[in-house]
Amino acid sequence: MVTVMVISCPHALGLAIPLVSAISTAVSAQNGLLIRNRTAFENARKITTLVFDKTGTLTTGEFGVSRFKSVREGMEDKEMLRLAAALEANSEHPIAEGIMDKVKELGLETPSADNFNAITGKGVEATVEGQQVKVVSPRYLNDEGINIPEAAENDGGETIVFVLLDDKLAGFIAMADQIRPESAEAIQTLHKNGIKTMMLTGDNKAVAASVSRELGLDDFFAEVLPDQKLDKVKTLQEKGEYVAMTGDGINDAPALAQADVGIAVGSGTDVAAETADIILVNSNPRDISKLILFGKVLTAKWCRT
Sheet holding 123-128, edge to edge: 64-70, 168-176, 159-165, 131-136, 123-128, 114-119
d(CA 161, CA 135): 6
Please tell me which residue in 53, 248, 252, 260 is annotated as part of the active site. 53
DSSP track, 21-68: HHHHHHHHHHTTEEES-HHHHHGGGG--EEEEEIIIIIB----EEEEE
Examine the residue annotation and report whether 53 is marked as an active-site residue of this protein.
yes
Task: Name 79's Cβ contacts closer than 8 Å, sequence gap at least 6.
Answer: 70
Asked if residues 233 and 214 have their Cβ atoms less than 8 Å apart, the reply is: no
Q: Would residue 167 be called left, alpha or beta, if left means φ above 0 and alpha means ψ between -120 and 50 degrees?
A: left
Task: Name 148's Cβ contacts closer than 8 Å, sequence gap at least 6.
Answer: 138, 141, 162
Three-state SS at 75: coil
- The two beta strands, 131-136 and 123-128, are antiparallel
Task: Name 104's Cβ contacts closer than 8 Å, sequence gap at least 6.
Answer: none
Give CA angle at 275 (274, 279), nearest 5°.
Answer: 70
Asked if residues 74 and 51 have their Cβ atoms less than 8 Å apart, the reply is: no
Annotated active-site positions, please? Answer: 53
